[in-house]
Amino acid sequence: MSRYRRARGQMSFFTVVPADRSSTLLVDQADRLRRIYRTVFQRQPFETVAICILPDHLHAIWTLPEGDVDFPSRWNLIKGGFSRGLEPQARSASKLLKREKGIWQRRYWEHAIRDEADLERHIDYIHFNPVKHGLVTRVRDWTLSSFHRYVEQGILPADWGGDMRDIAGHFGK
């Protein structure tokens, strides 16, 4: 079992998705996303427990300061800051009316972390997601993930999740 530690305060898992799921905008503009993310963190602090940026979505677990439950404004600032300066995408009439650039889906998936087991499952899910989507065969090969911080801190081994090349073609024999 991993040695995850749960921070204090409201902890939630998020999935945030661009409007165009065929886009690779998030990885193409990962430095921009990091910069905006850091700026929002400085204005409204939160702890990023785990995160993974994929071409067509991102997953994160945040812990907000004790008594703070305002993750919507943080996501709004991240999404808006990221969109500012990018070319608008194809937009519906309602997005035009609201002056949205059409970069992001309006909503996001949010799940309140219930306990240690739930936290561990979601951290593992986040870190394994690039393998699940066929982007890499080993978790450690995906650079846009907090997995590397977990390895540096000794929480997870570098070979966590294995290598999918080792099991490919071995089913049914």
Q: Does pLDDT of 90 surpass 80?
A: no
pLDDT at 163: 87
Whole-model pTM: value is 0.84
pLDDT in tens, 41-76: 999 999 999 999 999 999 999 999 999 999 999 999
The pLDDT confidence band at residue 6, using thresholds 50, 70 and 90, is: very low
92-103 b/e with 16+ CB inside 10 Å = b?
eeebeeeebbbb
Task: Determine the distance from the C-alpha atom of residue 100 to the mean position of all C-alpha atoms in its chain, rounded to a whole number.
Answer: 22
The pLDDT confidence band at residue 91, using thresholds 50, 70 and 90, is: very low
Collect all residues with Cβ–Cβ distance below 8 Å to 108 and sequence separation of at least 6: 14, 15, 16, 17, 75
The pLDDT confidence band at residue 9, using thresholds 50, 70 and 90, is: low
Adjacent-strand bridge partners of 139: none
Q: Compute the mean pLDDT over every residue in the chain, rounded to the nearest whole number.
A: 86
pLDDT at 3: 53
Q: Rounded distance, CA 146 to CA 69, Å?
A: 23
Domain 11-115 has CATH 3.10.180.10: no
